[in-house]
Amino acid sequence: MAWTVDARSWKRIVYLTTALPLGIAYFVVIAAGLSTGLGVSVLTFGLPIVIMMWVWRLLARLERFLASRLLGVELPAPYRPAEGGWFARLASRLGDPATWKDLAYLIVHLPLGIVDFTAVAILLGLPLSLLLAPLLYWSVSDGVDVGLVAVDSAPVAFGAFVSGLLLLPISVRATSAFATLHATFARMMLTAPTDPEVATLRSSQARIIAAADAERRRLERDLHDGAQQRLVAVALQLRMARDRLERGEDALDLVSVAADEARTAIGELRDLARGIHPAVLTARGLEAALRDVVARVPVPVDLVEAPAERFPSTIEATAYFVVSEALANVAKYAEAERASVTVRRDGDALCIEVCDDGRGGADPAAGSGLRGLLDRVGALNGTLTVDSPAGEGTRIRAQLPAEILDDEQPPQERGIVYDERTAAIMRLRRRRGLLTHAAIFGVVQMALIIVWAVTGLGYFWPGWTIFGWGLILALHASLAILRQPITELAVMREQGV
């Protein structure tokens, strides 16, 4: 079975098993060293404290090594570089927060080790006992109790063995997963948190690169879907004018319309160069922009319905270009006599439908225009379908999210998205809160253990508070680490920007 050769899980189990004896060793060394050092610090000018600081930093390096080898977590040393003479280096180490975080981690390691050892005993003890049930049954004549099972016959011993065989891989995986909590706490205590200034610089760099790439793609799409369609209309008008001139008819009106379209296309190109959407869309909204698009198409088009309310600019631009591209395809390829456009709001969606009575047979996979619309609509978590049976016309349906732009809507209803600096500060505050909780936990449990030792080393009653409070601390750690704030960079990555 795969779990029998899963070295990673077994290494984590080894770490959890050795956490308790290591925690005891750390506690004894630190308690004895600090108590002795504080007692003679006046006579020795604090030299034992300096030696103990070197010792616990060395023990913290040992923990980083064990975490790397057994837990599979790389923990780079977070210490500040120390320069200058010996006194300057000593002052730098004393003022380094990583030094005191190392001490806090080593103190808390004992109660964490008790929790780890208890988890291993509970999760692995039962399946191992069931696996040994046949051996225990044969060695004890009167039978033996394994958990809640009384093994007093060979069939029961065999059934216990099979149950243990089935439970053991599950227990191994569960114990390995439990080690993730210790690894997460070690990462938080033994490494440096992300500096907010560094996070801001990295976020700014990523946003600049992402924005430049997104702007390039936007200009590419807008040039294809906007100004290019006007130029296509100009070409069609001029072709019709040429046909009239060949027949000896007047074509001044068509040439005038083509000239107007060319001037409009030049204006849109100028707007796109400035990074602006089509002027009518920005100034008057989607309804006016759709009426303008419909009026430019050589084929008669009925605008059945168009929303008068305003939507977010990305939604309006996408709806505009869907209709523009669809009608351009009608004019170029469909050989249609009539078309219709319907844009309406349906609940939380903006529905767009463009139909024609042409020859059909449109295939999104065969044309870059429809593929571009699929990409544009998909980037907004929308859908686009093309129904175009041969000889029966084409029906293009698109559905976009239709959240109306409302600047008065409170942030808690829109969902809060933080910039990288604010998010880094929030993470740092949560980690500091968790660190404070862990420090209080360690101090209180150490005091209870001292009281237990002074009162006679009887029944280890502090174990109950260590286990219960340890579970609460583990829950706090999981919430503080897993419940991350939503950042602008995360939103851009999710949208593929």
Of 409 and 75, the structure prediction assigns the larger pLDDT to 75
Backbone angles phi, psi at 407, to 5 degrees: -70, -15
Asked whether the CA dihedral 250, 255, 260, 261 is positive or negative, the reply is: positive
Q: What pTM was computed for the model?
A: 0.41
CATH number at residue 379: 3.30.565.10
β-partners of residue 302 are 340
pLDDT for the residue 412? 39
Measure the CA–CA gap between 352 and 398, rounded to whole angstroms. 5
Q: Is the model's pLDDT at 367 over the cut of 50? A: yes
397 & 451 share domain: no
pLDDT for the residue 414? 38
397 & 417 share domain: no
Of 190, 211, 243, the residue that ends a domain is 190
318 & 451 share domain: no
Residue corresponding to tokens 């980037």: 379
388 & 416 share domain: no
Residue 281 belongs to a domain: no
**In the chain, pLDDT over 70 holds for what percent of residues?**
72
pLDDT for the residue 396? 92
pLDDT for the residue 129? 74
For 133-171, the pLDDT digits (tens) are 666 666 666 656 665 566 666 676 777 677 777 778 888
Measure the CA–CA gap between 354 and 338, rounded to whole angstroms. 11
Count of domains observed in the chain: 3
For 311-363, the pLDDT digits (tens) are 887 788 888 888 988 888 888 888 888 999 999 988 788 999 999 988 888 87
Q: Kindly state the DSSP code that residue 85 receives in the 8-state scheme.
A: S
pLDDT for the residue 411? 38
394 & 469 share domain: no
132 & 7 share domain: yes
Measure the CA–CA gap between 186 and 396, rounded to whole angstroms. 55
**In the chain, pLDDT over 90 holds for what percent of residues?**
4
Measure the CA–CA gap between 386 and 197, rounded to whole angstroms. 49
Nearby residues of 224 by Cβ (< 8 Å), 6 or more positions away:
368, 369, 372
For 107-134, the pLDDT digits (tens) are 888 888 898 888 888 888 777 777 776 6
Residue 248 belongs to a domain: no
Of 119 and 267, the structure prediction assigns the larger pLDDT to 119
Residue ranges of alpha helices (H) inside 223-306 are 228-246, 252-273, 279-284, 286-296
Of 151, 174, 190, the residue that ends a domain is 190
Measure the CA–CA gap between 136 and 352, rounded to whole angstroms. 74
pLDDT for the residue 184? 85
Query: What tokens were used for 236?
Result: 């069609």
For 379-417, the pLDDT digits (tens) are 677 888 888 888 888 999 999 887 644 433 343 333 445
Residue 10 belongs to a domain: yes
389 & 416 share domain: no
Residue 245 belongs to a domain: no
User: Which domain covers residue 122, as residue numbers?
Assistant: 2-190
pLDDT for the residue 341? 93
Contact 186, 75 (CB under 8 A): yes
Of 404, 437, 462, the residue that ends a domain is 404
CA angle (496 as vertex; 265, 318 as ends), nearest 5: 35
pLDDT for the residue 51? 83
Residue 465 belongs to a domain: yes
170 & 46 share domain: yes
pLDDT for the residue 153? 66
Residue 219 belongs to a domain: no
pLDDT for the residue 413? 36
For 26-48, the pLDDT digits (tens) are 988 888 887 777 666 556 666 77
Measure the CA–CA gap between 271 and 230, rounded to whole angstroms. 14
Q: Is the model's pLDDT at 279 over the cut of 80? A: no
Rg of the chain in Å (alpha carbons): 36
Residue 250 belongs to a domain: no
**Mean residue pLDDT across the chain:** 75
84 & 174 share domain: yes
Measure the CA–CA gap between 172 and 10, rounded to whole angstroms. 8
Contacts of the segment 238-246: beta carbons below 8 A, 24+ positions apart = 240/298
324 & 457 share domain: no
Of 287 and 411, the structure prediction assigns the larger pLDDT to 287
Residue 114 belongs to a domain: yes
151 & 11 share domain: yes
Measure the CA–CA gap between 378 and 97, rounded to whole angstroms. 47
pLDDT for the residue 355? 92
Query: What tokens were used for 420?
Result: 């990288």
Residue ranges of alpha helices (H) inside 45-85 are 47-66
Of 291 and 2, the structure prediction assigns the larger pLDDT to 291
Using CB atoms within 10 A of its CB, is residue 279 exposed (0-12), middle (13-18) or buried (19+)?
middle
Q: Is the model's pLDDT at 275 over the cut of 50? A: no
For 439-495, the pLDDT digits (tens) are 787 777 777 777 777 777 677 777 777 777 877 877 777 677 656 565 555 545 444
Contact 17, 117 (CB under 8 A): yes
pLDDT for the residue 39? 62
Which SS3 state, helix, strand or coil, does residue 484 take? coil
347 & 457 share domain: no
